[in-house]
Structure 1
Amino acid sequence: MFLSIIATAYTLSLLLFLVHGNTCSGDSNCEDIVTMPLLYGLRATLKADLDVKNMNDHLKTYIASEIKKGFANAMNDVMKQIVNTGLEEINATIIAAIQESLAEKGVTYIRWGRKGCPAGADIIYTGQVGGNLYTNKGGGVNYLCLPNDPENGPHQSYSNDQVYGSEYKLSSSSKPSGWSENMYKQEVPCAVCYQQRRSAVLMIPGRKTCYKGWNSEYHGYLMSDHKIHYRQDFACVDINAEPLDNKNGSEDGALFYALRTKCGSLRCPPYTNEADVLCVVCTK
């Protein structure tokens, strides 16, 4: 850009020289006259009275204007480049800061029915599902993921037992369709998982896929205690659930039964009557 400005100025200056730098001699008004030979070697001289000073002033003004314009354009380009480079550096710095901040943050969730976490999630601990006895009228109503390496408190004599183990109550005739194993009366494992770079966790009942913008951690079946028992929490049990161990005995405790829908106040469609209830755990 600057080379172009210099070339233009040089060309115009040369024009000034040609106009002002004439070769006349012996004339008192030589400064105001431009002398140039006629074509084809004619032996005569053509003289024209020109206002050379005025012409020079116009050319100087034009040259100054062009130089100023070219310099302004060049500076605009330079400033744009500086600004764009600055914005890119600022954006990169902001993105790096956000990523660094997100790396230190995350969400936790419980994966019911499995001993490990999905790929990409860190396991905090693995354990077994516990909860209140299904016949207890009062007390806690939520399932617990009890770690396999507890730090036990001292023995007590009072009677308020509420923390029991849990069992699948999923026989061949009362298990979700497509359930891979018959784990009737076997204890239920769990895992507490940590997913980095997430700020929210959501369990969606009635779906096996997450909504747009959310990431699926795992999906399965919605389960709880039996409807004739005292109320228990809902839990999303992994589609590929497994038993805690190989023991098989009816020890009861907090129980897991498969659930199904009932149309009426629940609108069908979009729901289907007496169907398995799917679920999915999503993070964002």
Structure 2
Amino acid sequence: MIKCTYNWTLGKNNKYFDELVIPIVEGQPEEIDLAPYVAKALEDYPDTSCVIIRRHGMYVVGPTWEKTKLMLESFDYLFHIAMQMKLYGLDPTQPPPESNWRMVGSDETSALPNLFDTCSCYREKIQKRLLLNDPDVATRFSQMEITIQKLTEQLSRLENNAGAGSTYVRWGRSICSGDNTELVYSGYAAGQLYLHASYTNRHGGPSNLLCMPGDPELTNISGNGTSLLYGAEYQENILKPDAHDEDVPCAVCRNKKTQNTLMIPGRKSCYSGWQKEYQSLVVSGHRAYSASSYLCMDRDPEYIPGGHVNNDGSLLYVTTTKCGSLPCPPYTDDKAINCVVCSK
């Protein structure tokens, strides 16, 4: 806001300036809200440069004397003199510091009431109140509505996803230890038999391993032995010195604050924006035996109590790289493969 002060004097030899202060009516500023009337005046007369408010009355300033007279004649609806000055941060009882004094006067102005010697001109690029018919305000309202709609949609999505979360299997462990995670259930890793003696030249059957819960709800339906599920065993001591022949536990975990989970082979850290659940090595079945899955086995695996007997069910080995179709570098031949489970 630019503040300017006029020293009002009258005299035949004084020339008037382009901006003149015209008294409209007298009254008390704190009594009536004039904002709608001022706004209407500014809309009808866009050349108005400022509105002056003092205890003596309200005044308008036009670009020329003739323009100001026309405005004065047309501003009949400005009969209410007050405006709530706090809306503009102004005190109607206190003039601003004096600055930019100017001499104003002419024969044409001699008939104007000389109500005071100093009047305060608040040259505002008028901070219009919220006018629904003002293009700038309408644009801002439209932008606010769009923003509110987007925020509402985002809140709705967050509320819908609040009870979702993401799940993953932690192979080799019976607990979940990641941030914001909870245990859905724990149990036993199981898959098909590593090798069928009657079908040594056939390697079909299911390849995936299941995490079987420790509290199953059983059926009374018997099968014919064509598809069987065996417990999984560690077949090496690479993960742990005494892991060979131990049975493999598993845990299904849920991260309450994420929506996606994935296993990244060849990495021990997550990419930016993802949270690490656990890190380990890739394991799978023997290449000469039945089909199997690649799993991310926990680096510090647990064992199922009493599961150290060599029953040879679904056998798991640490997986290593083989150069050729797999480019080396970046990989190295015959090296164990890191893996990490990440969520977001």
Relative to structure 1, is the Cα distance of residues 150 and 104 closer, same or farther in structure 2, using a 3 angstrom cutoff?
A: same
Q: Which residue of 2 aligns with 1:103?
A: 162
Relative to structure 1, is the Cα distance of residues 57 and 155 closer, same or farther in structure 2, using a 3 angstrom cutoff?
A: closer
TM-score by length of 1: 0.70
Q: Is the 8 A contact 1:205 1:277 kept in 2?
A: yes
Counterpart among 177, 182, 192 of residue 252 in structure 2: 192
Greater than 6 Å deviation, 4+ residue runs: 67-72
Structure 1 vs Structure 2: percent identity of aligned residues?
Answer: 33
1:128 CA drift (Å): 0.4
Distance in 1 (alpha carbons) for counterparts of 2:268 and 2:302: 19
Letter in 1 for 2:58: Y
Relative to structure 1, is the Cα distance of residues 210 and 56 closer, same or farther in structure 2, using a 3 angstrom cutoff?
A: closer
Equivalent positions of 1:1-16 (< 5 A) are 2=35, 5-7=51-53, 10-11=58-59
Counterpart among 154, 159, 168 of residue 225 in structure 2: 159
The yes-or-no answer on 1:261 pairing with 2:321 is yes
Distance in 1 (alpha carbons) for counterparts of 2:151 and 2:223: 62
Letter in 2 for 1:58: K
Distance in 1 (alpha carbons) for counterparts of 2:153 and 2:228: 50
SS of residue in 1 equivalent to 2:58: helix
Q: Is the 8 A contact 1:5 1:70 kept in 2?
A: no
SS of residue in 2 equivalent to 1:100: helix
Q: Which residue of 1 aligns with 2:212?
A: 146
For residues 39-90 of structure 1, give each alpha carbon's deviation from its aligned partner in whole angstroms, at most 9, with x where no partner exists: xxxxxxxxxxxxxxxx97532335679x999668444576677567656654
5+ residue gaps, structure 1: 14-54
Equivalent positions of 1:31-50 (< 5 A) are none
Relative to structure 1, is the Cα distance of residues 12 and 129 closer, same or farther in structure 2, using a 3 angstrom cutoff?
A: closer
Bigger fraction of residues in helix? 1
Distance in 1 (alpha carbons) for counterparts of 2:308 and 2:224: 30
For residues 222-264 of structure 1, give each alpha carbon's deviation from its aligned partner in whole angstroms, at most 9, with x where no partner exists: 0011223222111111122211225421111001111111112
Q: Which residue of 2 aligns with 1:168?
A: 234
Q: Is the 8 A contact 1:168 1:185 kept in 2?
A: yes
SS of residue in 2 equivalent to 1:5: strand
TM-score by length of 2: 0.59
For residues 109-168 of structure 1, give each alpha carbon's deviation from its aligned partner in whole angstroms, at most 9, with x where no partner exists: 211111012331222211000111111344222111111011222263733352111111
SS of residue in 2 equivalent to 1:151: coil
SS of residue in 1 equivalent to 2:277: strand
Equivalent positions of 1:39-118 (< 5 A) are 57-61=66-70, 73-74=128-129, 75=131, 89-117=148-176, 118=178
Q: Aligned pairs, how many?
A: 237
Distance in 2 (alpha carbons) for counterparts of 1:157 and 1:197: 41
Distance in 1 (alpha carbons) for counterparts of 2:164 and 2:307: 39
Q: Is the 8 A contact 2:166 2:256 kept in 1?
A: yes
Q: Which residue of 2 aligns with 1:120?
A: 180
Relative to structure 1, is the Cα distance of residues 97 and 181 closer, same or farther in structure 2, using a 3 angstrom cutoff?
A: farther
Equivalent positions of 1:19-30 (< 5 A) are none
Equivalent positions of 1:178-189 (< 5 A) are 179=239, 181-189=241-249
Q: Which residue of 2 aligns with 1:272?
A: 332
5+ residue gaps, structure 2: 2-34, 39-49, 79-123, 197-202
1:170 CA drift (Å): 1.9
